């Protein structure tokens, strides 16, 4: 397969790999059990340049391209702690890209730079109890009051929500115009009237904190608005592409790691006189999985290359063709990871259903990939519209 990585990319990959092996993997079982991990992980990742490698140098990053972020997402999956991987990716690839894209120099200094060093923890606040993939349905609102905005409403499913220092928040500023009446804000969580209502208990990604948030007459300076008023939906659609693409790259990498671990298990686990990997049925299953992963990886890499060329080489807005391909990549990766995890769990037999084995956790954690960042059904609906169907 075509290799898009140069020597600098590979050096960065080794940094992430070593960080994962030292800081995440040895602690993954404890953090899963405790449903939490220490905030210092953000700072340790930031100190190594892991969070900001693909950001501009003038914004506090290392000036790299998007392949640095792909390498990061692939290596973090080795830690067997999807909750921590997700928390770090929310920090570096979901809550902060829009600040880099449209933030003022003052906003970048106050929020983006400390997020890339891990000194401040970021969350992105979009989903609500009555509005997930249907962003137009959000009801959290921000009303202008002189030099301030007053925010009221509720958010849910917010990763890093209990620990965030600030939230990249989407709120309605013109309720008469549907989705196009939204604006983005940088919302410090120390603001009076803000409350973490609770931490949601999830079926997977246990180490990450996923919160319900309430905003009651929260007053923030108008200078914390990101970009133009009522343009938040357009900014969000651009931001979604990064979120969906990084989810796809991580999903394919997870498939590779789980298949490798399952193969090792099958070479040592004997049944009816020989290793179960030597059974013809399972050999065919593994061949099918290897083939599908190679196909998915080739496609996702093609999409990443197109995205990287437009955003990092040409520095232009994404074309609709690229947006379409990113949605396709998320569908392909999400469906594939579900198939691979299910097959590998079945391959483990009864042991696959026991928490002692990594496949049980991987199976639970991977289910989110067909939901987060826009459900698979929403992706297909969106693509059907783009294709004129």
- CA separation for the pair 181, 140 (Å, rounded): 12
- CA separation for the pair 13, 250 (Å, rounded): 14
**In which residue are the tokens 């923030």 written?**
220
Cα separations in angstroms, 115 against 93, 110, 111, 164:
11, 9, 6, 10
Contact call for residues 319 and 326 (beta carbons, < 8 A): no
Task: Identify the CA nearest to 246 among candidates 387, 53, 62.
Answer: 53
Contact call for residues 341 and 363 (beta carbons, < 8 A): yes
- CA separation for the pair 300, 365 (Å, rounded): 21
Q: Is 140 left (phi over 0), alpha (psi -120 to 50) or beta?
A: beta
294 is catalytic: no
| Per annotation, catalytic residue among 243, 256, 310, 339 | 243
**In which residue are the tokens 């994404």 written?**
318
Would strands 194-199 and 182-188 be described as parallel, antiparallel, or unpaired?
unpaired
113-129: burial string, b at 16+ Cβ within 10 Å, e else: bbbbbbebbbbbbbbbe
Find residue 96's DSSP bridge partners: none
Contacts with 308 (C-beta within 8 Å, 6 or more apart), sequence order? 65, 66, 67
Active site residues: 243
């Amino acid at each position: 397969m075509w290799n898009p990585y140069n020597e600098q990319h590979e050096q960065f990959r080794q940094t992430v790999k070593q960080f994962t092996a030292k800081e995440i993997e040895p602690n993954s079982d404890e953090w899963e059990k405790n449903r939490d991990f220490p905030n210092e992980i953000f700072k340790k990742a930031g100190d190594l340049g892991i969070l900001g490698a693909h950001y501009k140098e003038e914004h506090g990053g290392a000036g790299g391209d998007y392949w640095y972020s792909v390498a990061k997402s692939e290596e973090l999956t080795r830690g067997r702690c999807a909750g921590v991987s997700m928390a770090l990716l929310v920090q570096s690839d979901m809550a902060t890209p829009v600040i880099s894209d449209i933030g003022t120099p003052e906003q970048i200094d106050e929020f983006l730079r400390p997020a890339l060093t891990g000194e401040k923890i970021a969350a992105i606040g979009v989903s609500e109890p009555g509005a997930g993939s249907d962003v137009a349905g959000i009801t959290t609102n921000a009303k202008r009051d002189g030099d301030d905005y007053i925010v009221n409403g509720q958010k849910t499913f917010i990763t890093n929500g209990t620990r965030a220092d600030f939230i990249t928040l989407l709120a309605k500023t013109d309720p008469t115009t549907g989705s196009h009446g939204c604006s983005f804000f940088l919302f410090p969580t120390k603001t009076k009237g803000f409350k973490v209502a609770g931490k949601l208990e999830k079926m997977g990604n246990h180490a990450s904190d996923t919160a319900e948030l309430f905003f009651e007459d929260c007053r923030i300076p108008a200078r914390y608005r990101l970009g133009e008023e009522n343009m938040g939906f357009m900014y969000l659609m651009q931001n979604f592409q990064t979120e969906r693409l990084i989810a796809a790259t991580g999903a394919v990498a997870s498939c590779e790691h789980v298949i490798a671990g399952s193969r090792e298990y099958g070479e040592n686990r004997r049944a009816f006189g020989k290793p179960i990997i030597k059974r013809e049925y399972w050999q065919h299953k593994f061949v099918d999985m290897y083939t599908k992963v190679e196909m998915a990886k080739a496609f996702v890499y093609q999409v990443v290359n197109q995205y990287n060329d437009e955003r990092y080489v040409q520095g232009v807005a994404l074309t609709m063709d690229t947006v379409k391909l990113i949605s396709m990549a998320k569908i392909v990766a999400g469906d594939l990871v579900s198939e691979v995890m299910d097959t590998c769990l079945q391959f483990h037999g009864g042991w696959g259903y026991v928490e002692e084995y990594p496949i049980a956790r991987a199976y639970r954690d991977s289910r989110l990939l067909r939901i987060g960042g826009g459900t698979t059904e929403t992706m297909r609906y969106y693509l059907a519209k783009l294709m004129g169907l």
